Amino acid sequence: MLTTNPFDDDHLHEECGIFGVSGADSAAALVALGLHALQHRGQEAAGITAFDGAQFRTHRAMGHVAGNFDSDSVIRALGGSVACGHVRYSTTGETALRNVQPLYADLATGGFAIAHNGNISNAMRLRRELVRRGSIFQSTSDTETIIHLVATSSYRSLLDRFIDALKQVEGAYSLIVMTPEGMIACRDPLGIRPLVMGKLGDAIIFASETVALDVVGAEFVRSVEPGELVIVQGTEMRSIHPFAKAAARPCIFEWVYFSRPDSIVGDHSVYSVRKAIGAQLAIESPVEADLVIPVPDSGVPAAIGYAQESNIPFELGIIRSHYVGRTFIQPGDKVRHLGVKLKHNANRALIAGKRVVLIDDSIVRGTTSVKIVQMMREAGATEVHMRIASPPTKHSCFYGVDTPEREKLLAAKLDLAKMTEYIGADSLGFVSIDGLYKALGERDRTQERPQYCDACFTGDYPTVLTDHDELAEVDQFALLEERVA
């Protein structure tokens, strides 16, 4: 049987990654390279759409970029000087080829391709209204809602139709759109999901993270601003801000886990922020120990920061095999528990007889933490203390991150003492919400107007959640009916 590796299963999964190029020879080849750099943001599927001035061509496939877009014949078949691509981890819609992006449609204004990072929180309501008016959906993705809103808009120009569509959607989005008139890149008015702009010669490039610009040799220009639409025609560019100005609320989890450590997000080095979180964690939650050990790979920068601040030696007490993918074969229940060691194994000679501090980025369900603590015990650790480089994850995300239902989040069910008992650690500590903000250069979290979206920790959602609220009402009504019956 194929099953997801248990160490991958207990993380908040990346939302998606997008990359676009306008005004470059063999644009699709550059997009493929950019998507390689963004593979960590989505590992279920990948797609590229290219335009040569006359025809749109798309190649989409399940699985990683490697193997699907490494072929010269695939890239040559795409052609064109304009292209955009997408790597996907599904947060809405089934895992199927029809949901792989970029999505494409022939509209009255011509071809329309769209790549989306985020989640539209009123997509179900909009979809019902569109279907009632005659729209025929080809996917179960929330992104397709935007296509139908553009197609049915009463405005004349494509740009006005697009703006009209965006004014009807709620939630988080960073988008790259391709039309015969050019490329449009934009972020939602709160800037929840990231998007940056770069240049490679005369070519203009957009990407979810700066690391993708680095990989193709492009120069970072700036972040696309919250609520901004950047319109590109060939190598010419202009910018508009069609939405009412709002205080930005970028997702704070980009610095905690989602982005690659070598990216710059919102003028902050992700690696440096993670080290600063670890240092703050050491100040807030110290412990006497012999070793600081990261949970590979996402816990490494925070563990370095914790070790430097606490003067406890940093060691690689868990060794990760990089030759095991996200899935592996488990032939039966008797060996199922051995699957963890295919990817992570304790450095027994280092750990035996030692008091260890384990540093991880987050706890979601807690299943991974249980396995790691047990692994340390079996390797001979005399004490196992766990420290988490984010506050307790108590709430689901509705902005493009695949989080479990709230009742499956360990921190939503148990207090700190019960969580410590559940994972089997001698102690457990999380960085505070104010400590997380300090690591990002803020004095603390401004209660009246938080500087970031931190809803997964605080439950303070920056937008209305139409679909979620409607489903909650239905659930409450069904529960009431059941009680009455």
| CA distance linking residue 118 with residue 22, whole number of Å | 22
CB of 97 closer than 8 Å to CB of 45: yes
By CB neighbour count within 10 A (0-12 exposed, 13-18 middle, 19+ buried), where does 310 fall? buried
| CA distance linking residue 388 with residue 92, whole number of Å | 28
Residues in the chain: 485
The one catalytic residue among 16, 84, 186, 251: 16
Beta bridge partners of 19: 85, 207
Burial per residue of 64-95, b for 16 or more beta-carbon CB atoms within 10 angstroms, e otherwise: bbeebbeeeebbeebbbbbbbbbbbbbbbbee
SS3 73: helix
| CA distance linking residue 359 with residue 281, whole number of Å | 10
Beta bridge partners of 49: 58, 84
The yes-or-no answer on residue 16 being catalytic is yes
**What token pair was written down for 412?**
């939503």
What is the widest separation between alpha-carbon atoms in the chain? 73
Q: Determine how many CB atoms are found less than 10 A away from the CB of residue 321.
A: 11
Whether the upstream peptide bond of residue 102 has omega within 30° of 0, thus cis, is yes
By CB neighbour count within 10 A (0-12 exposed, 13-18 middle, 19+ buried), where does 303 fall? buried
| Closest CA relative to residue 187, chosen from 167, 204, 173 | 173
Q: Give the residue carrying structure tokens 């931190």.
A: 454
DSSP annotation string for 283-319: HHS----SEEEE-TTTTHHHHHHHHHHHTPPB---EE
Q: Which residues are catalytic?
A: 16
